[in-house]
Structure 1
Amino acid sequence: MEIYQDIAGLVAQSTACGLIEKRDQVYAQNQVLRLLKLETFPETIQQATKDSIPNLLEKLVAYAIKHHVITDVFDDKEILSANIMNCFVARPSVVEERFYKAYQNSARAATTYFYNLSKNSNYIQMNRIRKNIAFKSETTYGDMDITINLSKPEKDPEQIKREREMKNADMTYPTCLLCAENEGYTGRTGHPARANHRIIKLDLNSENWFLQYSPYLYYNEHCIVLSEMHRNMKIDRQTFANLLAFVRKFPHYFLGSNADLPIVGGSILTHDHYQGGHYEFAMTNASKRFSFSLPGFDEVEMAVLKWPLSVIRLHSKDTDKLVGAADTILQAWKNYSDPDADILAFTGDTPHNTITPIARKRADQFELDLVLRNNRTTEEHPLGIFHPHSDVHHIKKENIGLIEVMGLAVLPARLQSELTEIRKFLLGDAADVAAYHQAWAEDIKRRHKDICAENAAAILKKELGSKFARVLEDAGVFKQTVSGLQAFRRFLDAI
């Protein structure tokens, strides 16, 4: 009887959160029975299981494994889970209609509806996201967000074996993980289940784009805006216009783009997309280093920010002037070299300079933050001159993308256990500190003579934030020093 109680619980929870109406309950129940290869349902259920939708799904998947409906392999479990929830999610046209009906009340009402649907349908993996370790750490640049990413599930050996066998298979649909064709896709080995996935069509400057949420949120209402066309990422004048068009439609959200070059770009450069959400990062509230102006753009306020990366903030009511100013800076930067600052625009025909842009609206003013990036490598810095240097790789070695640029560290899961050992070391207990952390741990202990059980965790969090600030400083093309700011002014003069 327990499986029927769990199904009844899932139907009840899906009704309570508005995924389905009471009229849909028998239909949805029968669709779940089909997926679990059950042919009957009791006339009466003593009590439906009271639990969250993600927990109930886990119970149904566990039943399916136990009764050989599926094998105990990651992708099989993901596909079944998504297919079950698809029984409770309306068709895309209905979801879109409800979104735009809510939009008539307010942009926030529309995104709240869609965000809640994406969570309740388990497309946003809330149970896994809750596993992440997240906190704020005070730095000289403001309170940085630190996340140790524990939400990504580990793959079992059979899953890894299947993916290896599928590696050479000619499977090109959907073309990539961001393509609109993922909406409702069942999934397969090596390609995630998306049966419960829904997207909202948007018009940005007379071109089709789609809004969705990230299944693994790193901050509140972490959304993705993806092009209908499968095309490479590109930062140009149209990018600035699109970002501002979006925040005009959704003024409570910011929207930004990863850079369009390897090393300084994001993890997916083959599909044009942006990321945004309803959240204020430390960079949002960064103070000004100094103001400047450009001829022909009197309507635009311009400033360089006090931030570890090199950021120009543009501020105006006139979005056309903002786009023009941003494009003027982009074109100048793409061709700018300053050997004294290690900046070369090209190596042969290979470009190195680009921008990570972020748009937002504050009251009746629009903002564009332009983060100057350069991806040149040398023998001394084979991963990038303006990339985390080797002495901080024990904390962060991966690319610095849009999310990190704004002040949110996405750190590897290994740090969970490694920081526990460092804490033991700081307290004088027996500890197994990783060799690459040893010098850092000794330095912390030397500088904090008063460390004890009560303050060790807080000290370690602050030190981690300081280390992340150093990571971002490495990625800054103009350093936050006297000579670095002088070099920044040389670039502005060159424009």
Structure 2
Amino acid sequence: MIYKDIAGLIQKALEADLIESADVNYARNQLMHLLGLESFPEEGVGTTDESIPDLLEKLTGYAVKHGIITDASDDKEILSANLMNCFVARPSVINAVFNQKYHESPSAATEYFYRLSQNSHYIQTKQIEKNISYKVDTAYGEMDITINLSKPEKDPEQIKREREAKQTRSYPKCLLCKENEGYTGRIGYPARANHRIIHIPLLDENWYFQYSPYVYYREHSILFSEKHRRMNIDKQAFHRLLTFTEMFPHYFIGSNADLPIVGGSILSHDHYQAGCYEFAMTRAEDAFSFQLHRHPQIEASVLKWPMSVIRLKGTTINNLVEAADDIFQTWKNYSDQLADVIAFTDDTPHNTITPIARNRNGIFEIDLVLRNNRTSAEHPFGIFHPHEDVHHIKKENIGLIEVMGLAILPPRLKTELAAIKEFLLGRPSRIEAHHLEWAEHLNSEYRELSSQEHAESVLQKELGNKFVKALEDAGVLKERKAFMRFIEAVNQQIN
């Protein structure tokens, strides 16, 4: 059976254009070595039509059964990546093909690399299918809701191994360093043997482009600096983002904020996130427009959005960069007691921006989401962070993806919401204590629901409302008057 699975994996690699027929013997021999085989039947093996992820599971299962690796998740991931690396071309070849495709069109280049990243099993397609995802109508448009089930839970043995392992190694320095390309992996550090990155020169610096292994939206990608340096929002960042949209006009690109609480999970390495997806925020209407006195050629508006967003539009990147930087420089030092916004505590800064750039048919735009990470006794997790009344659903940071209208919710909600659904249907269920008040409120509002479908619809709608509330909590200027005071400060600053 092992021979049939090997033959099946080779056939799938051929169908996915990972290898050509001239590569078959080489690939087979490499697979045999990894699986401890010294010979292969010359005929009568047959093949199978199973998917690449399913075949990899069977091959790693064989390796566990025959003592080639342990049953620990790290060992299986390392072997799986090494098996696929037998089919993936070297970085120089992939970069050459990408650049050739780019001359056809930017979208042809990204489509090639996205398909490669899926077929090479770097993007975990089977795991991603486990996510629970749907759309929900809200006062701000159609939001995306995802309960994240794609990242596998660590088993007790894996946790024990990581605890016992001495994590003294500093290579690669982090998960976003270019040295991850082709890295085998180790206990507590993911396998990257089948990982490839694309070199993107950007404003006289070397940057690199890859896809996320656990994509949250179509072509979810990461652009990261060659240098291992901290995240930093500044004028140059705005310039990079807009220049990237000139190079890849079918992609948006944005950055997490660069301060704790309002920033992303990795602040130690300068990077952005991009993709070919239209979020609810992209479709958001203007709440009102205003003028930037120093930049009359720029269209400026405040969006109708739960967070505090200024959108700038223009035909010239340099003009947009200057306008965005004027707003950013004002915001960094801006305090408004009426809005509970304070820029500094002693020398500690609180104000920053989450920027997102797009190119719509030659009209460049950049959204500047105003952020503040101050805490208080009443809100120890953050004044402009999801408040305690939504923590039973979402208490993690509001990062770039969620700012744009895609909720990434914890896996615990799958079972917890199922219990609430049973409760709403009048059936016995065990509801977690942190959901009890919400469940009772829903029950009193909707009474006993008559069908699974109705209960599911209610929960989806109300989960969307909770997400919107979390975003509203993260908004810093909650009234038009507060926005007008800030806009006045911007115009005074730049006159």
TM over 0.5: yes
Q: 1:87 matched to which residue of 2?
A: 86
8 A contact 2:127–2:151 mirrored in 1: yes
CA distance in 2, matches of 1:157, 1:429: 33
Structure 1 equivalent of residue 36 of structure 2: 37
Segments of structure 2 that go 5 or more residues without pairing to the other structure are: 491-495
Q: Output the amino acid matched with 1:295.
A: H
Asked if 1:487 is matched to 2:485, the reply is no
1:390-401 equivalence runs, <5 A: 390-401=388-399
Match of 2:115, SS? helix
- The equivalent residue for 2:304 is 306
Does 2:374 correspond to 1:371?
no
Mapped partners of 2:271, 2:153: distance in 1? 27
- 1:154 and 1:463 map into 2 onto residues whose CA distance is 27
**1:400-433 CA distances to partner (integer Å, 9 max, x unpaired)?**
0000100000000000001111111111111111
Structure 1 residue matching 2:312: 3-state secondary structure? strand
Q: In the alignment, what sits opposite 2:73?
A: 74
Q: Is the 8 A contact 1:5 1:45 kept in 2?
A: no
TM-score by length of 2: 0.98
CA contact (8 A) 1:345 1:352 kept: yes
Q: 1: CA distance between counterparts of 2:185 and 2:33?
A: 18
Provide the C-alpha distance between the structure 2 equivalents of 1:216 and 1:150, rounded to a whole number of angstroms.
10
Amino acid at match of 1:371: V
Matches within 5 A, 1:15-164: 15-164=14-163
C-alpha offsets along residues 44-88 of structure 1, whole Å, 9 cap, x if unaligned?
134212111111111100000011100000110010000000000
Contact 2:424/2:447, CA 8 A, preserved across alignment:
no
Q: CA offsets, 1:304-347, max 9 Å, x none? A: 00000000000111111100000000000000000111100000
Contact 1:299-1:318 within 8 A present in 2 as well:
no
- Answering whether residue 7 of structure 2 is matched by residue 8 of structure 1, we say yes
Q: SS at the partner of 1:466?
A: helix
Answer yes or no: is the 8 Å Cα contact 2:280–2:405 preserved in 1. yes
CA-CA distance at 1:478 after TM superposition: 1.2
CA displacement, residues 226-274 of structure 1 (integer Å, 9 cap, x when unaligned)? 0000000000000000001111111000000000000000000000000
* Partners of 1:104 and 1:450 in 2: CA distance: 60
In structure 1, how many angstroms separate the alpha carbons of the residues matched to 2:450 and 2:252? 41
Question: Equivalents in 1 of 2:489, 2:137: separation in Å?
Answer: 35
Residue 452 of structure 1 and its aligned partner are, at CA, apart by: 2.1
Question: Shift of the alpha carbon at 1:435?
Answer: 1.2
Q: Secondary structure at the match of 2:104?
A: coil
Identity of paired residues, percent?
Answer: 63
> What is the SS of the residue equivalent to 1:209?
strand
Q: In 1, are the aligned partners of 2:425 and 2:448 still within 8 Å (CA)?
A: no
Which position in structure 2 is the counterpart of 1:478?
Answer: 477
Match of 2:313?
315
Deviation at 1:449, TM superposition (A): 4.0
User: Which of 275, 278, 287 lines up with 2:276 in the alignment?
Assistant: 278
Q: Distance in 2 between matches of 1:212 and 1:188?
A: 21
Structure 2 counterpart of 1:119, one-letter code: Q
What is the deviation of 1:459? Answer: 1.1
Out of 221, 224, 229, the position equivalent to 1:223 is 221
Distance in 1 separating the partners of 2:435 and 2:26? 56
Amino acid paired to 1:447: E
Whole-Å separation in 1 of the counterparts to 2:51 and 2:169: 35
Q: Could you list the structure 1 runs, at least 4 aligned residues long, displaced by more than 3 angstroms after superposition.
A: none
CA distance in 1, matches of 2:252, 2:450: 41
* Per-residue deviation, residues 353-395 of structure 1 (Å, max 9, x unmatched): 0000000111120010000000000111111000011110000
- Determine if contact 2:311/2:367 at 8 Å carries over to the other structure: yes
Q: Which amino acid letter does the alignment assign opposite residue 11 of structure 1?
A: I
Q: Secondary structure at the match of 1:238?
A: helix
Q: More displaced, 485-494 or 449-458?
A: 449-458
Q: Which residue of 1 aligns with 2:433?
A: 435
Matches within 5 A, 1:153-192: 153-166=152-165, 168-192=166-190
Deviation at 1:455, TM superposition (A): 1.1
After TM superposition, the structure 1 stretch with the greater mean CA deviation from structure 2, 45-54 or 147-156, is 45-54
1:292 to 278, 290, 293: 290
Name the SS of the counterpart of 1:368 in structure 2.
strand
Cα deviation for residue 451 of structure 1 reads 2.9
3-state SS of 2:172 partner: coil
Instruction: Quote the offset at 1:169 in angstroms.
Output: 3.4
Quote how far apart the aligned CAs of 1:450 are.
7.2
Q: Does 1:408 align with 2:403?
A: no
Give deviations 1:1-20, integer Å, cap 9, x for gaps: x0000000000000111000
Residue equivalent to 1:331: 329
Q: Secondary structure at the match of 1:104?
A: helix
Report SS of the residue matched to 2:77.
Answer: helix
Cα distance in 2, alignment partners of residues 227 and 80 from structure 1: 29
Return the alpha-carbon distance in structure 2 between the equivalents of residues 319 and 298 of structure 1: 15
- Number of aligned residue pairs: give it: 489
Task: Give the conservation status (yes or no) of the 8 Å contact 1:4–1:45.
Answer: no
C-alpha distance in 1 between matches for 2:158 and 2:439:
37
Matched to 1:326, the amino acid is A
1:275 partner SS: strand
2:345 to 340, 344, 347: 347
- Cα pair 2:218 2:277 within 8 Å, conserved: yes
Residue 468 in structure 1 maps to residue 445 in structure 2: no
Q: Is the 8 A contact 2:295 2:319 kept in 1?
A: yes
User: Any unmatched runs of 5+ in structure 1?
Assistant: none
Opposite residue 25 of structure 1, the aligned amino acid is V
The residue type paired with residue 50 of structure 1 is D
Q: How does 1:207-246 map to 2 (within 5 A)?
A: 207-246=205-244
Alpha-carbon distance in structure 1 between the residues aligned to 2:15 and 2:366: 41
Matched to 2:402, the amino acid is: E
C-alpha distance in structure 1 between counterparts of 2:249 and 2:113, whole Å: 16
Q: TM-score, normalised by structure 1?
A: 0.98
